[in-house]
Amino acid sequence: MQRGAWNIPVPAERHPLVPHALLIPLVGYDAAGYRLGYGGGYYDRTLAGFTPRPLCIGVGYDDAALATIYPQPHDVPMDLIVTERRAQPIGRPPAAPIPR
Protein backbone atom coordinates (compact mmCIF):
# COMPACT_ATOMS: atom_id res chain seq x y z
CA MET A 1 0.00 0.00 0.00
CA GLN A 2 0.99 3.61 -0.56
CA ARG A 3 -0.56 6.92 0.42
CA GLY A 4 -3.00 8.33 -2.12
CA ALA A 5 -5.38 11.30 -2.23
CA TRP A 6 -6.15 12.71 1.23
CA ASN A 7 -3.49 10.38 2.64
CA ILE A 8 -5.74 7.32 2.17
CA PRO A 9 -3.81 4.04 1.63
CA VAL A 10 -4.20 2.62 -1.90
CA PRO A 11 -2.57 -0.41 -3.57
CA ALA A 12 0.92 0.35 -4.87
CA GLU A 13 0.31 -1.78 -7.99
CA ARG A 14 -2.83 -1.78 -10.10
CA HIS A 15 -4.42 -5.13 -11.01
CA PRO A 16 -7.81 -4.35 -12.62
CA LEU A 17 -10.42 -7.06 -12.97
CA VAL A 18 -13.94 -7.36 -14.30
CA PRO A 19 -16.29 -9.15 -11.90
CA HIS A 20 -18.83 -11.69 -13.17
CA ALA A 21 -21.62 -10.29 -10.97
CA LEU A 22 -22.21 -7.30 -8.71
CA LEU A 23 -24.60 -6.79 -5.79
CA ILE A 24 -25.64 -3.14 -6.02
CA PRO A 25 -27.56 -1.34 -3.25
CA LEU A 26 -30.65 0.59 -4.23
CA VAL A 27 -32.86 3.13 -2.50
CA GLY A 28 -35.62 2.80 -5.09
CA TYR A 29 -36.23 0.94 -8.33
CA ASP A 30 -38.72 0.63 -11.17
CA ALA A 31 -40.03 -2.28 -13.26
CA ALA A 32 -37.55 -1.48 -16.05
CA GLY A 33 -34.68 -2.24 -13.65
CA TYR A 34 -33.49 1.32 -13.19
CA ARG A 35 -32.38 2.19 -9.69
CA LEU A 36 -32.01 5.12 -7.41
CA GLY A 37 -28.80 4.91 -5.47
CA TYR A 38 -27.18 7.18 -2.98
CA GLY A 39 -26.64 10.09 -5.35
CA GLY A 40 -23.07 9.83 -6.60
CA GLY A 41 -23.54 7.97 -9.89
CA TYR A 42 -20.51 5.80 -9.09
CA TYR A 43 -22.12 2.48 -10.02
CA ASP A 44 -23.40 3.75 -13.38
CA ARG A 45 -20.00 5.19 -14.32
CA THR A 46 -18.24 2.00 -13.21
CA LEU A 47 -20.68 -0.25 -15.12
CA ALA A 48 -20.28 1.84 -18.28
CA GLY A 49 -16.56 1.03 -18.28
CA PHE A 50 -16.87 -2.76 -17.98
CA THR A 51 -16.50 -4.97 -21.05
CA PRO A 52 -18.19 -7.38 -20.84
CA ARG A 53 -20.77 -5.99 -18.47
CA PRO A 54 -21.22 -8.12 -15.34
CA LEU A 55 -24.57 -9.42 -14.09
CA CYS A 56 -26.04 -6.50 -12.12
CA ILE A 57 -28.18 -7.46 -9.12
CA GLY A 58 -29.93 -4.61 -7.34
CA VAL A 59 -30.63 -5.29 -3.66
CA GLY A 60 -33.21 -3.33 -1.68
CA TYR A 61 -36.61 -3.37 -0.03
CA ASP A 62 -39.83 -4.42 -1.72
CA ASP A 63 -41.55 -1.22 -0.58
CA ALA A 64 -38.96 0.83 -2.49
CA ALA A 65 -40.66 0.05 -5.84
CA LEU A 66 -41.58 3.18 -7.83
CA ALA A 67 -43.63 3.69 -10.99
CA THR A 68 -40.50 5.16 -12.63
CA ILE A 69 -37.28 6.78 -11.55
CA TYR A 70 -37.19 8.88 -14.73
CA PRO A 71 -33.88 7.37 -15.87
CA GLN A 72 -31.23 9.62 -17.33
CA PRO A 73 -29.08 8.69 -20.38
CA HIS A 74 -26.20 7.58 -18.14
CA ASP A 75 -28.35 5.26 -15.96
CA VAL A 76 -27.74 1.52 -16.31
CA PRO A 77 -30.61 -0.90 -15.60
CA MET A 78 -30.16 -3.88 -13.31
CA ASP A 79 -30.53 -7.42 -14.64
CA LEU A 80 -32.25 -8.61 -11.47
CA ILE A 81 -33.85 -6.89 -8.48
CA VAL A 82 -33.79 -8.82 -5.19
CA THR A 83 -35.82 -7.77 -2.16
CA GLU A 84 -36.88 -9.42 1.08
CA ARG A 85 -40.01 -10.67 -0.72
CA ARG A 86 -39.01 -11.51 -4.30
CA ALA A 87 -36.35 -11.89 -6.96
CA GLN A 88 -37.44 -10.11 -10.14
CA PRO A 89 -35.58 -10.73 -13.41
CA ILE A 90 -35.93 -7.56 -15.48
CA GLY A 91 -37.87 -7.96 -18.72
CA ARG A 92 -40.24 -10.53 -17.25
CA PRO A 93 -43.61 -10.09 -15.54
CA PRO A 94 -43.38 -9.22 -11.82
CA ALA A 95 -42.75 -12.20 -9.60
CA ALA A 96 -45.29 -13.15 -6.97
CA PRO A 97 -44.22 -12.11 -3.48
CA ILE A 98 -42.90 -14.78 -1.18
CA PRO A 99 -45.60 -15.60 1.41
CA ARG A 100 -44.79 -14.51 4.94
Active-site residue numbers?
A: 35, 44, 75
- At 59 the three-state DSSP class reads strand
CA 15 – CA 60 distance, rounded (Å): 30
Cβ-based burial of 3 (10 A; exposed 0-12, middle 13-18, buried ≥19):
exposed
